[in-house]
Amino acid sequence: MSLRPLLAAVVAFMVVENVLAEDYSMCRDEGCGDCPVTLASLGTGYPECIIYNTDDVFGGQDFPPSELEDFRAYFDVPQQNTDENCNVIIKSPAERGRTACGVVKYAFHRESCGKLDLAKTFMVQFCCGFCDCSAAGIPNMPGCSAKFGALGGGGSSGPLRLSRNGTLITPAYEGPADSVDETAATSSTDTTTGQPGPARLAAREDKKGVCAGDWTPGPEPHDDSYIRPADGPTIVASEVDGGPEGSEIQITRSRTQSWSTTMEMSLGIADVLSLGLSFSSTFQESITDSKAYSFTVPKGEKGYVIFTAYLRCSVGSGTCNGEKVEGEVCTPYRAANGELAGETSLVIEG
């Protein structure tokens, strides 16, 4: 019997004890002295989401109004474990209909009393370790191969529950993100482009794959295919500042996303195409998008801008070289406007 699930559970318990041993609180004042909301317990882990309505958490509690969003709070965060590369992450807005229930808006790894301007919904997550933090949405994390960088359920990452004055707050939603329609997914810009994507991969006559074409999706809850964010977003603009009125910047850095797999057998493109995936005909080895586009930095906000590509994936098992293989296989894809599918967002770092 494999020890990996047991080890993952032990690591998760140790990390959660570390995360919740210190006082993580959401406060009404800039000095983080009046803090009725605290982090309470760990959820079930990726890809589960725990989404809160801000009004359920902060409404009627004399939290200050926000000029930018629905509520303002101050997040009292202790110094994170630098040896384990731990981060506490805020996603807002958070929605079950968005890939991974949203993208990172705040990331804390230093001791701070950080200002949070929160939309109508939000989610708190934590991660420890380069691989899991990369998968959770922290950019430029070293030390993870594309093969083993995927964030698995029960690892040292996950959503967190909240309590107010010692009483657990009921979340608006707890469960996996809904399946995302790839044709409706956003892209790196808001405008269409006439630039065609790279040619789709096709099995070559001179090199047939080593797999039997018997790919079987599963186990649940995954469908035959699903959309998820790529591990490790790319920073496309550093040290941006919205100023008192907000500012519009140009994103000129190219965005590239390649295929990935968690299967332990070494497989090439021709082999992957011979697995029998339902999306083999649209599988792409890599997509690069170099078109510049505009991004608006909200007034009063500072941070850096990330681009998170979306991947079309399948988890399952098949046969290659007469041996069973299992894991996840993912490919980048283009949105309806022809650009690399993904999302651009501002991260405020603490």
pLDDT in tens, 26-48: 999 999 999 999 988 766 655 67
Q: Which of 332, 288, 314 is nearest to 185 (CA)?
A: 332
CB 330 within 8 A of CB 311: yes
Q: How far apart are CA 91 and CA 19, in angstroms?
A: 18
DSSP states of 172-199: SEEEEPPPP-TTT--BSSSS---PPPPP
Look at 210-219, 222-231, 301-310 and tell me which has the smallest mean pLDDT.
222-231
Q: How far apart are CA 41 and CA 174, in angstroms?
A: 13
DSSP 153: T
Q: Give me the percent of the chain exceeding a pLDDT of 90.
A: 39
pLDDT in tens, 59-90: 999 999 888 788 999 999 888 777 777 888 89
Distance of CA 144 to the CA centre of its chain: 15
Backbone conformation region of residue 97, classed left if phi is above 0, alpha if psi is from -120 to 50, else beta: alpha
User: Phi and psi for 290 in degrees, rounded to 5?
Assistant: -110, 5
Q: Which of 336, 329, 340 is nearest to 260 (CA)?
A: 329
| Alpha carbon distances (Å) from 113 to 69, 159, 194, 347 | 19, 21, 46, 16
- Mean pLDDT for the stretch of residues 211-240: 84
CB within 8 A of 289, min separation 6: which ones? 188, 254, 255, 256, 339, 340
Question: Which three-class secondary structure state does DSSP give residue 207?
Answer: strand
Q: Tell how strand 121-128 and strand 48-53 pair up.
A: antiparallel
Q: How far apart are CA 238 and CA 118, in angstroms?
A: 22
- Mean pLDDT for the stretch of residues 303-312: 91
Q: How far apart are CA 72 and CA 64, in angstroms?
A: 6
Buried b (16+ CB within 10 A) or exposed e, 138-160: bbebeebeeeebbbbbbbbbbbb
Structure-block tokens of residue 33: 């002295």
Of residues 257 and 19, the one with the higher pLDDT is 257
pLDDT tier at 189, thresholds 50, 70, 90: very low
Of residues 41 and 277, the one with the higher pLDDT is 277
Residue 147: per-residue pLDDT: 31
pLDDT tier at 175, thresholds 50, 70, 90: confident
Q: Tell how strand 342-349 and strand 104-108 pair up.
A: parallel
Q: Which of 144, 158, 30 is nearest to 88 (CA)?
A: 158
Residue 103's identity, in one-letter code, is V
Q: How far apart are CA 87 and CA 136, in angstroms?
A: 10
Helix ranges restricted to H, 83-225 = 130-136
Average pLDDT, the chain: 78
Distance of CA 13 to the CA centre of its chain: 21
Q: Give me the percent of the chain exceeding a pLDDT of 70.
A: 77
| Alpha carbon distances (Å) from 309 to 10, 52, 105, 259 | 31, 25, 16, 11
Query: Vertex 217, ends 211 and 220: CA angle to 5°?
Result: 155
Of residues 26 and 17, the one with the higher pLDDT is 26
pLDDT tier at 184, thresholds 50, 70, 90: very low
Residue 156: per-residue pLDDT: 54
Backbone conformation region of residue 177, classed left if phi is above 0, alpha if psi is from -120 to 50, else beta: beta
Q: Which of 308, 312, 313, 311 is nearest to 343 (CA)?
A: 308
Residue 43: per-residue pLDDT: 66
Question: Which three-class secondary structure state does DSSP give residue 32?
Answer: coil
- Mean pLDDT for the stretch of residues 294-314: 89
